[in-house]
Amino acid sequence: MEALLKHLVDITCQRDHTLLDSSIVSALHELVGASRVFVHELFRFRDELYIRPRVGINNGKIVSMEEAPDNHGEPITRYPALVESIKQRKTCMEDVNAAGDRTLWLPVWLNDKVSTCLEVTNPTPYSSHTLHMMEGILSVYRNYQNILDYSERDSLTGLLNRKTFDEKFSRLLTSSSPESGLQERDERRHQPAPGIGQWLAVVDIDHFKRVNDQFGHLYGDEVLILVANLLRQSFRSQDRVFRFGGEEFVVLLRSTTLEDARKIFERFRTNVEQHEFPQVGKVTVSLGFASISNESPVVILGHADQALYYAKANGRNRVCYYDELVKSGELHSEVSNDTVEFF
């Protein structure tokens, strides 16, 4: 009982999804003796449901894979027991492989949807008492995950909020995990292929004030919601999309080349341009992006912001890349005493 209470306290004191995931895998590993526990994320990509690991414990070692550049996920159809559990709306489904290892798939249901599931593997079957204890632990995890999710998301669009951006961007810039309680990650997972980079984009809805003034704030809110939906559809699950405030959004695009990044951003711009917004009609966006380098977060965000304002000052409804603007002489930067001034 003392060990159970300790883990429940650990789960409910977390203020971050990664640490919460670490707490639940540690609790299940210790309390039920599981040899392997993983928290997976479920997401849709091109109308197909995918699964990818976020945090896991294998052979006693906790690893976080959320920021790994090669963690793209795989189709959920490779795991029939999980597919069946979701189809039947069950909270638990057991699968036994050829070696006799037993895997429990535990979908985490929130508002009749599943975006998270747990995978618990053990060579021997669990007793009804152990299963009942696992169900209780998962109920606490589910409730607290819902609380964290609410605090991390913008209430209007459902996208991640500005506070969450600060945390996730800092984590992306850190080569090793900064969180206490996590083991060191496998550094080989973080070595990008040549030409592969990370990118930050700032998106702004063109003439948004005109929408509010002409049609009212209710239609303005609807435009924000629809643009947020187009952002979700245009980017992959391993990318991150945030509402920064007002009509401004930020995208962290990960593990892709400059050419592909430009195509992805242009595709999103085109998707917005071609979308028919009820009552309002046509809406466009401007986008500025920059590479995520070893500079400070403020400098990188400043680069993307400068590219955005250049786009808005030069026709709108366009995508601009900061380094190209500097190289062509359209923007100038001066480096002095380790600071950067923008003109």
Domain ranges across the chain: 2-152, 162-342
Question: What is the reported pLDDT for 287?
Answer: 98
Token pair 């197909």 is at which residue? 48
- Asked if 136 and 143 count as a contact pair (C-beta separation under 8 A), the reply is no
Residue 39 phi, psi (nearest 5): -100, 125
Q: Residue 179 — pLDDT band, cuts 50, 70, 90?
A: very low
| Active-site position among 247, 248, 276, 324 | 247
Question: What is the reported pLDDT for 150?
Answer: 80
Q: Is 48 exposed, middle or buried (0-12, 13-18, 19+ CB in 10 A)?
A: exposed
Question: What is the reported pLDDT for 293?
Answer: 87
Q: Residue 314 — pLDDT band, cuts 50, 70, 90?
A: very high
Supply the pTM of this predicted model: 0.71
Could you tell me where the beta strands, DSSP code E, fall in 185-296? 197-205, 240-245, 248-256, 285-291
List, for residues 19-60, the tens digit of each pLDDT value.
889 999 998 888 888 888 999 988 877 678 889 898 998 777
Question: What is the reported pLDDT for 336?
Answer: 39
Q: Is 330 exposed, middle or buried (0-12, 13-18, 19+ CB in 10 A)?
A: middle
What does the mean pLDDT of the chain come to? Answer: 84
For the domain made up of 2-152, the CATH class stated in words is alpha beta
- Asked if 233 and 270 count as a contact pair (C-beta separation under 8 A), the reply is no
For the question of residue 247 being annotated catalytic, the response is yes
Which residues are CB-neighbours of 50 under 8 A, at least 6 positions away?
42, 43, 44, 73, 74, 75, 76, 237
For residue 189, the tally of other CB atoms under 10 A from its CB is: 13
List, for residues 262-290, the tens digit of each pLDDT value.
999 999 999 999 999 999 999 999 999 99
Q: What CATH code is assigned to 162-342?
A: 3.30.70.270
Mean pLDDT, residues 215-227: 96
Which residues are CB-neighbours of 25 under 8 A, at least 6 positions away?
37, 38, 39, 55, 56, 57, 62, 118
Question: What is the reported pLDDT for 185?
Answer: 37
Q: Which two tokens stand for residue 108?
A: 């985490």
List, for residues 62-98, the tens digit of each pLDDT value.
888 766 656 678 899 999 999 999 999 888 898 888 7
Question: What is the reported pLDDT for 295?
Answer: 86
Q: Report the residue count for the chain.
A: 343
